[in-house]
Amino acid sequence: MAAFQELALDPRLLRSIQHLGFTQPTEIQQEAIPAVMQGKDLIVSSKTGSGKTLAYLLPMMQRLLRSKPLSAQDPRALILAPTRELAQQIYAQLRLFVANTRLTPAFIVGGENFNDQEKLLKRQPHIIVATPGRLADHLEHKSFFLQGLEVLILDEADRMLDLGFMPQLNAIHKQASHRLRQTLMFSATLDHAEVNELALSLLRDPYRVALGAGY
């Protein structure tokens, strides 16, 4: 299997990977990273523990580091996850990767003070990790806007849909859709009617990766 070095990632990202002690991408990372770096939309199903987080964090970061922002105010990337705990885990990984860069992250989940989050959003973070309910509340409240969003990532889409977040996901996508460059969707299974419905409405000619075995 190829090393991370062969994926043509920004040296700042490679440094963070080295810091984590990872040498080789997992199977899913090997498949997904080059496709996302080519600008494709993506739908991935693979089991828990196969390394999906870095499969989207790395190429998303690569895009933000290598391209000019579409907007000076709006976030450039948004990662949605079903629960606070999952969002927290993603945010912890993201922080390692932004540490070497000028990109700023924000964490926006339910159960925390709304006004504090609003202040955070007004500071114009580049990358947001959020749960869909609280993020949709902020959009409704006009705490911030998504017109400049470049990358939208739906992690554990099947669980978000099982929790009833279809309306919020659609509202978020609708506001972001003007200039959105890429949408990446992850699910434990593609054998899920609502996941397929969402994929059909959000993704453009997606690259599909379905892996049975984990890493």
Supply the DSSP string of the chain, one letter for each residue.
---GGGG---HHHHHHHHHHT--S--HHHHHHHHHHHTT--EEEEE-TTS-HHHHHHHHHHHHHHHS--S-SSS-SEEEE-SSHHHHHHHHHHHHHHHTTSS--EEEE-TTS-HHHHHHHHHT--SEEEE-HHHHHHHHHTTSS--TT--EEEETTHHHHHHTT-HHHHHHHHHHHTTT--EEEEEES-S--HHHHHHHHHH-SS-EEEEESS--
| Residues 93-112: x where in contact with ligand ADP by CB under 6 A, - otherwise, as a string | --------------------
Q: Provide the token pair at 182.
A: 């890429």
Q: Closer CB to ligand ADP, residue 74 or residue 155?
A: 155
Q: Which does 25 bind (CB under 5 to 8 A by kind): ligand ADP, Mg ion, none?
A: ligand ADP
**Sites of contact with Mg ion (CB under 5 A):** 52
133 lies in the site for ligand ADP, by CB under 6 A: no
26 lies in the site for ligand ADP, by CB under 6 A: yes
9 lies in the site for ligand ADP, by CB under 6 A: no
Q: Which does 22 bind (CB under 5 to 8 A by kind): Mg ion, ligand ADP, none?
A: ligand ADP
Residue 36 Cβ, how far from ligand ADP at the closest point, in Å? Answer: 15
Among 14, 37, 51, 171, binds ligand ADP (CB under 6 A): 51
34 lies in the site for ligand ADP, by CB under 6 A: no
Among 7, 13, 25, 59, binds ligand ADP (CB under 6 A): 25
Give the residue among 155, 156, 110, 159 at the shortest CA–CA distance from 136: 110
206 lies in the site for ligand ADP, by CB under 6 A: no
165 near 133, Cβ under 8 Å? yes
Region from 7-15, 17-25, 132-140, 189-197 binding ligand ADP, contact rule CB under 6 A: 17-25
48 lies in the site for ligand ADP, by CB under 6 A: yes
Q: Which residues bind ligand ADP (CB under 6 A)?
A: 22, 24-26, 29, 48-54
